Every structure is written in structure tokens, then in C-alpha cells.
Amino acid sequence: MLDFVVRPFASAGRGTVRILGSVGRAWILFAGTAGALRHPGIWGPQLVPQLARIGVASVPIALFIATFTGIVMSLQASYTLTGTIPLYFVGALVGKTMMLELGPVLTGLTLAGRVGANISAELGTMRVTEQVDALETLAYDPLAYLVVPRVIAGIVMFPIVVLLAMTVGIVSGWLTALQLLDMSSPEFVKGLRLLFEPWDVWFAVIKSVSFGAIVTGVGCFYGLQTERGAEGVGRSATQTVVIASMIILCLDAFWAATLL
């Protein structure tokens, strides 16, 4: 009877301790990473390879998704905008949604899978095979060598990939409007310019910088905490994708509430 009463409290207590523990470890990682910026001699040579792996290698998948998002947006806009609403609003809708929401968020979620899981699995494997310990014994700070270049690469490359994805999405929407909706280019561009604000681009850049930091940071966090072999590596990769995706959606709402 007593056990029945105590168990939910004990469970809630363990959950709270676990969450607080994770928050504490994340804070330690953040502080340590900020401190490790003082060692450019360690992270500097790793930066260019990470820019290529995190950014350049992500371009194809980001553009693939953006292309089809642009096509679908264009078709759905024309389907929705019937009656009194002029068809050139298709351009306005495609441009606005690609810049404000779909470009950054869809790319962010995609890269949470591609980049986040990759970082987590790589660092997790290094952790369980003692390569991270080996780095330390060779007088390398693992945060400077492994975390700093990845997070910087995420912060630098996510906005670039997102801007490319936004552009390709809008262009694919435009081509769809020309080919399938009997719209002319001037009509589409008229709609595109109608609601365009330069701030929309900055909004997308700010969002994607934060997504880049989160995806790479969460990947490093779970990767470096990996335990218990291959199963642990798989669990870390899954946790990274889930948690990074959730934080991206929360941040998306946060930026919309604070910046728009």
C-alpha cells in the first residue's frame, strides 16, 4: 500500500534528477566549449574539414527537399487562392512561407537528422572506443578538438545552406507556376515582391544560426556521453535527432514570438 503511494513520487523524483543532471552536463559542455575557444591552435585546423562535412555535404539533400517544397507550395497556393484572390498571390505565398518558415525549419529538421546523427554517432564511437580518452592523454582538449570546430561549422554553414534552400524553393515554385499554373514570370514576381521584406531574410538567417548551434551542440553532447558500445551509439544518435528536432520547433515558435 505504502509502495503504491511512494512509487509515483519516487519516479517523478528520479525523472527530475535526470533532467537536472542533463541540464547541468549541458551547461558544463557549453562553458567548457566557450573556454576551449582559447585554443585556436587545436580547433583551427579542424574547421575547414567540418565546414565541408557539415555544410557543403548537406547542400544536395537540403536543395532536394527545397525543390519539392517549392513545387508543392506553388500548387497548393493556386488550389487555395481561388475566386476573388488574384493568382499572382501564389508568388507572395511561396516567397513568404519559404523565407519565414519552410526554408529554415525544414532544412533545420533535415540537418538534425543528417548532421546531428552523424556527429553523435562519430563522437559516440570515439567515446566507446576510448579515442576521446586517447586525445586527452595526448594533451588535446577534446572540447577544443571535437566540439568547437563542429559548432562553429554549424553556426556558419546552416544559414548558407538555408539561404540556398530558400532560393531553390522559390525558384522551383516559380518554374512550377510557369509550367503548370499558366502564370507568367511578371505575375509570379509581382506576387513575390508584394509582401517581401528584407527583414524576412535576416529572420531566416537568425533562425538558422540558432538551429546550427543546436543541432551540432546536441550532437556533440549526446555523442560525448555515449556509453555501452554499439547500442549506446545508436541510442545517442536517436536522442540527438529527437531532442534537436524538438528544440528546433520550440526555437521556431520562440523566434516567431519575439522577432515578428
Partner 1 sequence: MSIRIVELHKAFGPKEVLRGFSLEVRVGATVAIVGPSGSGKSVLLKHLVGLMRPDMGSVLVDGESVPDLGRQDLARFRRRVGYVFQFAALFDSMTIAENVGMGLKRLPGWSADRIDHRVQECLSLVDLEGMGERYPSQLSGGQKKRAGLARAIAASPKYLLYDEPTTGLDPVTTSVIDELILRMRDELGVTGLVVTHDMTSAFRVADRITLLHEGKARFTGTPAEVRAARDDVLRGFVEGDPGLYYGLQGRGDHGP
| Contacting positions for partner 1 (CB under 8 A) | 126, 129-131, 133-134, 136-141
The least distance separating partner 1 from the CB of residue 113, rounded to whole angstroms, comes to 22
CA distances 162 to 48, 59, 108, 237, Å, are: 19, 9, 8, 23
| Lookup: cell for 259 | 522577432
Backbone φ and ψ for 100, nearest 5 degrees, come out as -80, -35
Residue among 2 and 138 whose Cβ is closer to partner 1: 138
**Closest approach of partner 1 to the CB of residue 166, in Å:** 33
Task: Decide if 42 contacts 141 (C-beta within 8 A).
Answer: yes
* CB closer to partner 1, 133 vs 197: 133
As given in the structure block, the three cell numbers for residue 235 are 541510442
CB of 132 to partner 1, least distance (A): 9
CB-wise, 15 or 44, nearer to partner 1?
A: 44
Question: Cα–Cα distance between 218 and 29 in angstroms, integer?
Answer: 10
Task: State the Cα–Cα distance between residues 115 and 150, nearest whole angstrom.
Answer: 10
Give least dist CB 139 to partner 1, A.
Answer: 4
Of 122 and 187, which CB lies nearer to partner 1 in the complex structure?
A: 122
Query: Closest distance between partner 1 and the C-beta of residue 250, in Å?
Result: 33
Smaller CB distance to partner 1: residue 80 or 129?
129
Residues 87/88/90/91 CA torsion (nearest 10 deg) = 170
